Amino acid sequence: NAGVMQNPRHLVRRRGQEARLRCSPMKGHSHVYWYRQLPEEGLKFMVYLQKENIIDESGMPKERFSAEFPKEGPSILRIQQVVRGDSAAYFCASSPTGDNQPQHFGDGTRLSIL
């Protein structure tokens, strides 16, 4: 399967804990995008990364959220001190280059905060 892989598919955390969401892009893709989707809503852009660089983080909340895409390994979206409002589906997409190339999405991580 050469698609975008996200794990875990489901993640349950208690308020105040940390959540780490992982995304492995398609082979040959060096651009990664993270989105958040609330129930019955569209996707909201969070952050756009290239290997070892954050290109655009204009959609990221200023506090508690961070993202990285290291030279080796998957991209990580990290949410510290989670709150109930962080419950959502988080999707990762990848593309081969950043210039209006089709984005290929993973099946998301469903984050539930107790």
The site for other proteins (CB under 8 A) is made up of: 4, 6, 31, 33, 35, 40-45, 48, 55-56, 58, 91, 93, 95, 97-108
CB of 43 to other proteins, least distance (A): 4
Between 57 and 68, whose beta carbon lies closer to other proteins? 57
Q: How many CB atoms lie within 10 A of CB 59?
A: 15
CA distance 5 to 54: 20
Those residues whose C-beta lies under 8 Å from the C-beta of residue 4, and which sit 6 or more positions away, are: 23, 24, 25, 26, 29, 92, 93, 94, 104, 105, 106
Those residues whose C-beta lies under 8 Å from the C-beta of residue 41, and which sit 6 or more positions away, are: none
CB of 27 to other proteins, least distance (A): 17
Between 16 and 61, whose beta carbon lies closer to other proteins? 61
CB of 91 to other proteins, least distance (A): 5
Between 41 and 52, whose beta carbon lies closer to other proteins? 41
Between 18 and 56, whose beta carbon lies closer to other proteins? 56
- Cβ atoms of 77 and 46 closer than 8 Å: yes
